[in-house]
Amino acid sequence: MKLDSWVKAFTIMEVVIAALVATLVITMAYTAYLMMNHAYLNFTNKNDDMQVLLRLDQLLKRDFNHSQRIMRDKQNLLFEDSTQTVRYEIGPEFIIRSALISDTFKIKTTIFNTAFAHHFVPEEGAAIAEAQPIDELALDILFRSDTISYHYNKNYSSKDLIRITQYAIN
């Protein structure tokens, strides 16, 4: 039997080069996928952290506006109105809001200052029986590597002011 025809095929060198090119394309695609996935996760985590900050800001604004009296005792803020009392415990690594439902915000605070009638209300020496009224709150929050300052102010009505100040009538 005689072989007169040649079978057309790729040489081993052509197959190796094709495999090498395919490997390079797959490696580049996988690297691009990992970079995009990493960027998306960073974006999602930053948005989730920002959502926590926005929720805390929204709750503090609402509690400041709706409360009839705001008191401070040590690291706690008490927001009182006719129907409920809301307590905020402000620590260096977290803020806990306790009302009908408790919320924990994993937020780092660097500055927690309060004032009443433009006079600083210190934390030391205050016990629950000696809670001090406040009308201003300054809070610095560490968000990633940035410091964000929040400032809240309560404008009391005359009726509420007389109710919270011991010697207001005298």
Q: Indicate the DSSP class of residue 47.
A: H
> Cα torsion for 164, 76, 152, 146, to the nearest 10°?
170
CA 135 to chain centre: 23
In tens, the pLDDT along 71-128 reads 998 889 999 988 899 999 999 999 999 998 999 999 999 999 999 888 888 765 444 4
Domains in the chain: boundaries: 12-164
Largest CA distance in the chain: 127
pLDDT band at 149 (very low <50, low <70, confident <90, very high): very high
Is residue 9 pLDDT above 90, yes or no? no
Could you tell me which residue, 131 or 54, shows the higher pLDDT? Answer: 54
Q: Which two tokens stand for residue 43?
A: 């974006």
Residue bearing the bigger pLDDT, 164 or 16: 16
Average confidence score pLDDT of the chain: 88
Region 118-139 average pLDDT = 74
**Is the model's pTM score more than 0.85?**
no
Query: Which segments of 74-107 are extended strands (E)?
Result: 76-80, 85-90, 95-98, 103-105
Q: Are 111 and 90 in contact (CB under 8 A)?
A: no
Query: What DSSP character marks residue 5?
Result: -
pLDDT digits (tens, 9 = 90+) for 46-70: 999 999 999 999 999 999 999 988 9
